[in-house]
Amino acid sequence: MPRPTFSELTAEQQQYTETCRERLAQDIQAQGGSIGFDQYMQLVLHDHAVGYYHTQQPVFGKHGDFVTAPESSVHLAYCIAHACAGLIRDDAQRNILEVGAGRGQLALDMLRYLHAWGCAPRRYYIFEPSEMLRNAQKELLEEHMPESRSVVEWLPDLHMDLGSAIVIANEVLDALPAKCFIANSRQISERCVTLTDQGELDWLVQAPSYELDVALDYLTVMLDSPPAGEPYCSEINLQLGKTLASWSDCCEQCIMFLIDYGYPQSEYYHPQRNMGTLRSYFRHRVSEDLFACPGIQDITADVDFSALAQAAKRLQMGVLSFGSQRNFMLANRLLDWRPAGKTQAEQVAQIAQLKQLTLGSAVGERFQVMVLGKGIEYGPDRFTLRDMRARL
């Protein structure tokens, strides 16, 4: 994707990205001329004043920059609801916590199914840091399911005890700030963000920070010396453990569904994936230019599910299953789903979406589902047709 020009941006977007650039310049200058890419990603995505997820511009859907599975069809919601229904039947007092609920479509569809099946949760908690998205979620639920007011509650933070809960995080981990590195001739350096003499954002290669150096020690076996002239660029997320702990600590017991695109570690750091997985989205166009429109473009990185499993074990959580989203959905009664469109055209479109999720080469294989348990044990066959924990 070519770098968007100012002519493509609205006046509001132009002002927003310029304000974000000014903040970045201040931070870079205050820290001696460069910041880690994780700091850059934190600011341009999550800062409450200039971050992407706090802008008033559309983020999800056809008028935004990308579409998540719950935005495009009801099938994922149907299958997660089926998994939750079985867990709720096991314990009628179980709560649900959804982290990063987008526009609220997954919550809406899940609650519809659970209510129809007589398996409504005691409470459906949503933790959403973005005020803009919280408002969108409230509007959607109020418009299409006003009776949900008695069940849904938005949490200001996660400093509370939810008891026994089901935790759902769909496409949340890919937005966590990541550190970038480059390996060449067995030397590993950190890729940071700086300003050129012209005031443009650019990469700066320098000695790795201590925390990055320590974290990369266990990857050195996998990062063999690349061929001459072909440096190996990638990223590593150092916030997985802290993030997972914040979700786990608010529950006495929990089953956690983590849904995202990513790979086991051996595939994530495969020699042929020498440019990493970082990319940006702007108006449904994908690009590797991560500095084009800070504050109004999404930035994402695939999830290292092996690192996620290691973080879970350090928190004394069990990895109950790991497999493709397709196999998770097939194990949770996807083929029992029936189209609910009001017209034949709507039903045909829903069936086409179903095929997209069940064909082996489609999005259902690109996404993975990891199920974790805290204080609760279940067999993997409850959550997936083909458990792939051995690949972790």
Assess if residue 96 is contained within a domain.
Answer: no
What pLDDT does residue 60 have?
57
Closest to 247 measured CA to CA, from 122, 348, 150, 372: 372
Assess if residue 283 is contained within a domain.
Answer: yes
Assess if residue 359 is contained within a domain.
Answer: no
54: left (phi over 0), alpha (psi -120 to 50) or beta: alpha
Asked if 175 contacts 99 with a C-beta cutoff of 8 angstroms, the reply is no
* Six-digit token string for 387: 């458990």
Burial class (CB in 10 A: 0-12, 13-18, 19+), 243: middle
Assess if residue 380 is contained within a domain.
Answer: no
What pLDDT does residue 366 have?
79
Assess if residue 81 is contained within a domain.
Answer: no
Which residue stretches of the chain have pLDDT < 50? Answer: none
Residue listed under structure tokens 């690109």: 366
Q: Where is 362: in which H helix or E strand?
A: none
Closest to 134 measured CA to CA, from 197, 207, 59: 59
Number of domains in the chain: 1
Asked if 173 contacts 258 with a C-beta cutoff of 8 angstroms, the reply is yes
The string of pLDDT tens digits covering residues 287-297 is 889 999 999 99
3 state SS of 202: strand
Find the DSSP H helices in 315-374: 325-331, 344-358, 363-366
Q: 288 is in which domain, residue-wise? A: 6-44+176-239+271-300
Assess if residue 64 is contained within a domain.
Answer: no
What pLDDT does residue 351 have?
64
Assess if residue 200 is contained within a domain.
Answer: yes
Assess if residue 223 is contained within a domain.
Answer: yes
pTM: 0.91
* Six-digit token string for 299: 């930035």
Asked if 183 contacts 273 with a C-beta cutoff of 8 angstroms, the reply is no
Distance of CA 181 to the CA centre of its chain: 21
